[in-house]
Structure 1
Amino acid sequence: MLHCPNPTCTHPQNLDGRATCQNCGQPLIGILRHRYHIIKPIGQGGFGITYLAEDIERFNETCVVKQLIYQSPDSPGAQQKVQALFTQEAQQLFQLGTHPQIPNLLAYFHEEGRQYLVQEFIEGHNLSQVLKREGVFNEAKLRHFLASILPVLGYIHSQGVIHRDLKPHNIMHRPADDRYFLIDFGVTKQVNGQETVGTVLGSEGYAAFEQLRDGRAYPASDLYSLGVTCFQFLTGHDPRSLQLQIGYSWTQTWQKHLCQPLSPQLVDIIHKLLQINLEHRYASVEDVLKDLKNPQPLSTEVQNASHRQPTVDRQSYKLELAQATDRTAIICEPRSAIPAVSASQLEYPPLQATQFEVATLNVMGQIQSVQTQTAQYFIEALGDDLSLSMIAIPAGSILMGSPSTETARRNSEGPQHHVSVPNFYMGQFPITQAQWQTVAALPTINQALSLDPSQFKGPDHPVENISWLDAVEFCGRLTQKFKRLYRLPSEAEWEYACRANTTTPFHWGETLTADHANFHGMKTYRLAPKGQYRNQTTPVGSFRPNAFGLYDMHGNVWEWCADHWHPNYQDAPVDGSIWFAQDDDRAAQTTHPWRGGSWYDAPASCRAAYRTFADADFKSSNLGFRVVSPVLSP
C-alpha cells in the first residue's frame, strides 16, 4: 500500500502502483528520498504525523518517519514558528540522540515542499497506550519508571534543554529490556539563563503554571509535568479534564483520587513534584533521585503550600490551539504586560433569583402538574443591552444513560452508571444569533467566525450551522473577554442539567408534545398525540423550562458537548468530567457528541439519554450549542 503524503487527505491509503492519490489527487511518493518506504501511519500529534517505514539502504531496517503537518494559512507567523520548531526537533535529536534512551536522528530533509525527519524506531508502546492496556501502575512499577526516566530527563537538562511537553504520549516503553524512552522534542527550549516572557508551548493539563502563564520554563517545569504523569499512572484520571473543571487546584487534593495505598515517601515526592509555586517544587532531577533513595519528610513550607494558590490570570495571552488530535498542544503569544489579577476579579457577578413554572406530562402528553420553582443565575453583560444568563446548577448525582426498557433506547445510551457532578453554571438558553454576532466580533483566538452563519434568521433564535470548532472558538473568546473559564459542557454535565433531578425520558415526563418543545411534531413518542411541525427554529425560551430553569433542553437545536465521542459508556468517568479518548486512533477521529434533538427530529431523538456525534468541522441548520462555566476552586 502507498500512503498519501497530503496531511489533510481523508482516505490516504492507495494500492501499489498508483501515481496519484485516488482520493485527493496528490502525487504519491512510493519511496521518500529513494530510500524510505512508508508502511503505515502510527501516530499524530500537534505538529506532525508519524509513519512506520523501512530503510531500503539498510536491509529494510524499521524506522520512523515524521512529517510536519501543521497548517495555519490564517496565521503565517504561527506557521513559521511551527516550521522552526520542527527543524529544532531534528537538531535536538541530533544533539541528544547519543543517549541510549532517546531515539537517534537518522535523516532530516525536504521533499515536494514538505518537511520530514527520520528517527530510530523504538519497538513498544507509548505510556498512554500502556495505561489503557494494562491499567494503573502500582508503587513498584511507578518507582521503576521513575528510576528509568529521571536520568534521561537529567541528561537533557545537563545539555541545556527543557522538554516542555512531558506526558504519557511522549514516553515509550520497550518491553524487550523494560526501558523507558523520551520522545517528541518538538517544543523543547534551550536554557539561556535569561528570565523573559516568551512563547508558551505545552499541553494543557500537563504544563506547569509558570510555563502556561508567561512562557517561562525551567528544569522544574519538566518535573511538574513528570508529577502530573505519575498522578495519571497511579489513578487513571486524565489531568486535562481536572484542569478544565477546577484549574490547578486539583494538584493540592490529588491524593483523594488514589485507588491504592502508597508509601508516605512516594506521596511526599509526588506532592512536591506537583507544587504550583516554583519555589516549593523540586529544582533538579538529582533532588528527586535523592529523595527516592533516602526518605525525607515534607518541609513545613511545602505542607503549608498545599493551602496556598497563586494569583492566576487565566486569559492574559492570545491562545491558539494547534491542529492536534488530542487538542492539547498550545501556542500562546503573551501580551507584553501581564497584570496580576485580584481574587475579586475572578469572582462571578452577583447572583439573582428567578421564578418559573415547571410542567409534568403524563404518558398521554397531558399536563399532570405545574409547580413553581426558583433558580439562581448571574448576568454576563455582552454590551449594547445584550447579556448572557448563566444558571447556577447545584452539585448532585445522576444515573446516566437509559434503562433497557426505555422506548427507542439505543446501545450507545448504556450501560447506565452513577455519576456525581460538581456545581457549575450553564447558559439558560442555547446561544442566540445576537449573542453569537457580538462575540464573533471579538478578537480572533484560533480561527475566524462567520458573523451570520444561521439558516433561520432572528436575533433571539438559536444560532445554528455551528461546528464544534466554531463553538470552541466562541468559548475561548468569552473566556478571554471576561477572564473566567467558559467551555462546552461534558456529556455528563449536559445530561445532568437536562434531567434536572428527573429519571424519565424527558424532563417533562414520560413523553413530549409539540405544545411543549420544538421538534417534528407529526412524529410521536409512546401515547402522545401528533402536533405541529414548524420546520424551523423557534425563539429561545418559547416553552416552559425544566426544574433547574434551563430552556430548550429538548428540541430546537442539537447542542455540542466537549467530549470525544465514545460508542457507549464502558469505562466512562463518574465525576462529571469531560471524557477524552485515551488511545491515539480514537483521538485521531476528532468526533464529538451532540445532545437534545432539534426542530427536525422525532421526539425519540430528543430524549435526555439520546446521543449522536459528528466530526469537529461538521455544520448543520439544526446544530447549535450552549456554554458552561465551571466553579473553579480559589
Structure 2
Amino acid sequence: MRKQLIDNLKKLVDLPPIFKGENRHFTESELAAFLNDSGTLAITDLILAQLREVTELDDTLVAFFSYEELLGKATLFFFRHLLHNDARAKTTLETLQRECLLVKVDAIQTTQEQLLTRLQQQLEQQNASAIAAIQAGNFAKVEQLTPALKRLQNAIDTVPQRLQAAVVAWQDSHQQFIEFSQRFDNWRHLLDAKVDQVLDAVSTLGDIDQTLKTLLQEFRAFKYKYELSEHVKARDEFTHHSPESAAKIEQALATLKRLPVHNYELMNLAGTVVSSTGSVAEAEQLFLEARDCAQNPPEKALASFNLFQVRLRRQAYPEALADLQSAINLEPSYALHNVNRYPMEKLLGVGGMGCVFLCRDLDEDNRQVVVKCFWEGHKGARHEVFKEARIMREIAGDYVPKPLHWDYADAIRQEKPYFVTEYIEGALDGETWLSKKGKLDLANGLEVAKQIAQGLALAHQAGVCHFDLKPANLLLKSVNNRLRVKIIDFGLARVATSLKQQAAKTQAHSGKSLLVQNVFGTLDYAPPEQLGDMRYGEPDASSDVFAFGATLYRLLSGESPRFPHPSELPDSPELQLLLLDCLKPDPKKRPAIEDVIERLSSLLEKTEKKPGTVFRDSLKNGGKGPEMVIMPAGQFRMGDVQGTGGDREKPVHKVSVKSFAMGRYPVTVGEFRQFVESTGYKTEAEKGKDDNNWRKPYFSQDDNHPVVCVSWNDAVVYVKWLSEQTGKEYRLPTESEWEYGARGGTETDYWWGNEFGKNRANCYDSGSQWSNKSTSPVGSFKGNPFGLYDTVGNIWEWVADKWHENYEGAPIDGSVWEEGGENYRVLRGGSWFFRPWFARTANCNRDDSDGRNDYDGFRVVSSVAWT
C-alpha cells in the first residue's frame, strides 16, 4: 500500500497550483475557515475538492488523506510556519494579548508547572504518612490513605493532557482563542477547588478510621443483642426488630455506605444484621462486597455461604446453588450433606425444614436421587433420629418415595442431618401441577384424595404424623392412565425441627410475611394448634386431617384454603361437607382419617365413570371440552366381517381394546373456534390462502356443524392444546379404537344392519335434507349402541394411524399403527359427498397429512383414569 500511495502522490507533484484564480489576499473569514482542520470547511475536504477539478484521484489516496484529517493537519503545520513570520499575524497576536483576549502558551505552561508543584508536594506528604503507617504496622491506616493517594496521582497525570488541549485550542481562530481562555480559566479554578476537596478528604482520614471502629462496635452490638452469628441461619428470619432498633440499623447502614473504604469483617457483620431485618437486596450487596474484600479462602467461603442463604430468601435457586458450591470448594465443612457421594445438580426448593437438592449417587450407578438437608436437626443415634422415616418405608411404600440413605454431614457432632430418597422422573409437585395443568376435576381429585388419606392412615396407625402436608409435598404422576401420588417429607418430624410455628409468629408480628412465605412455605395448611394456639393442645394425627382438607381444597379449587368457600369446589355437596369438616378449628370436631377414607370411597363409587357415561372436561380458559362417552373394554373382529369390502379391509383379525373415552360427536366448528381464538392458530388451508377453509367452506356452517377443511396436522395441534387445557391426555383415536366405537358391539356393515336404508345418515343420495349439499349438524341422526353419533357419513374422520395396504401385521391391542406404511394418514366413516358404500364401518380412506377437504374432520379420544 505504501508503494501505491507514493506512486499516486508523485503524479500530483506536477499539477498546476490549486487555490488560484483570484488575484487577491485571503479575507479574515477565509483565513479563519482555513485554520479549521475539521468541520464543514475542513482543509482536507477543500483541497480534495480543488484537486478533483484538475485531475482524477485514486480512492486509496483519498482514504489516506481523509484518515483522521491527515491532509488538513499537514497543511496547517505549514500555515502555522508561514504565519509565524508574517507581520500581520504578529501584530494581531500582540493586540489580542494586550487586550487580555489571548492566553499565551508559555503562560499555560507556567500555570501547569505551578499546579504540578503544588500537587506533587501534597503527594509527597501523603506518601510520607503512608510510609510511617507501614513502619508502625498500622495497615488499616495504609488502606485508608490509598484512595486519596490515587486521586492525587490522577490529578497530576491529567495536567499535561489539559495543556495539550490548550495548545490545540490555540490553533483555532481568534474567537476560539477567546473561548478557550475562558474555559481554561474556569478549568483552573475548578481544579484548584478539586485539589482543595482532595486535601480536605485527606485531612479527614483520621476521622474515617474512627468511624470504622465505631461501626464495627455498633454492628457487633446488634449481633449480640439479636443472638446472630457470623453465619446466616434460617432462624435469623424470625428476628423481631422494634421500630427504634430498625431505625438505628438503617442509620448505621447509611453511614457505612458513605465511607470511601470498607473491610471484610464490617461488611460481613453488616450483612448478617441487615438480613435479619428482611432487607434481602441490601444484605446480598453487603455479602458480595464482603467476598470482594476477603483476604483469604475462609473469609471468601463464609461470604459465599451467607450469599447462599440470602439468595434462598428470594428463591434465586441457580445463584444460591453456585454460592453454596463456591463455599464448599473453599471450605468443605460448609457442605450440608455428603457431596462427595451425592454431588449436587440442582436446587429443587426450600421449606420449613430445610432445602432439597437433585443429586447423583456416585455409589449406585450415578443414578439421580433427591437429598433433603435440614436447617435444625435433632441429635441422637441415627437409628432413633431416623426411626420414623424407616417406619414409613416399611409400612407405606406405595405412598412415599423410597428412602435410600440417611446420615449426618457432621457425624461426630451429630449435626446437619440429611435424607436421601428415590427421584421420580416426570413427577410434578402439587403446586407445579396446578400451574401447568390446572385444578383437578372431581373424579381425579377424589382418586388422589383417597391415596393421600390411605397413606396418612397407615402412618397414624404406626404412630407417625406428617405435620407439614401441603400440595408442594405431593408428587403427582400419571401411571397406566391413573394419577398416582407420593407424599414427600413423611416421617421427618423426628429428624429435624420445623420452623413453621415460629414462622407464624414472625408473620403476625414482624411484617415480613412475604419473606417468611418464600423461605418456609405458606402457612395456609397448618391447623391452629401448629400455629401456637394453645387452646387446642399439642399437634397430633388430627393436625394432618386439617392439612389434608386444606390441601384437597387447593387441588380441587385452585384457590388458597385460608378462607374456603363451597362455591369454589366441584358441585358435590358431600365432598364440600367433608372438606369443611376436616377444616374445623377444634381438633376434636374433625373426622378421623379412617372416616375420611370411608366417605371418599362412597363418593368415588357414586362418581366413577362407567361405560356410557357422558362428561365434558373443564378448560383452563373457562370453557368446556367436547362431550365424551366412556367406551367399555372389550374385544371385536376388525375388518371386512361381511365380505362386502376390499383387500384393504383384510384379513379380519381380533383386537382387544381397553376402556377409553371417545368424542360423542365429531369436533364442531364452535369447539374448533374456541381453540383458534385461544391460540391464534392458522390452519394449513389458511396458511395456503385457500378460500375454502374451516371459517368459510363452500357451504355455510354454524357452530353446531362438524369442522371441515382441517388437515391431520391441524387435528394434532388441536388435541395437544386440548390436553394442555384439561390436564388430561387427549389424542386422535387409533384406527382400531375408531372402528370399535363405531361398531357399537355389532358386526354388520352399518351399526344398524347391512342395508343402508333411507335418511339414517348424511351421505350422497341418502334421502336426507343435507344429502349431496353439505354437512349436517352433529347429532342429527340416531346414535349407535355406545352412544356415539355421526360415525356413518357426514364427514371423513382423521385417525392416528399411517396407511397400510392391508391388515397383515396390524396391532391387536388397540394401539396406533405408526411404524412402516406409506406417508398417508387414515380417514374413516364416509361423508356427505360420498356414497353409502364408503360409509361402511370397516371401510377406510387415505390422504396426505396436510390434505384438507370440505368433507374431512375429526373426533377425539382421551384416556380413562380407571375402568
Give the TM-score range, shorter chain: 0.3 to 0.5
Work out which of the two has the higher radius of gyration on C-alpha atoms and give 1 or 2: 2
Q: TM-score, normalised by structure 2?
A: 0.31
Q: Specify which structure has the bigger relative contact order, considering alpha-carbon pairs within 8 angstroms and separated by 6 or more residues.
A: 1
Q: TM-score, normalised by structure 1?
A: 0.41
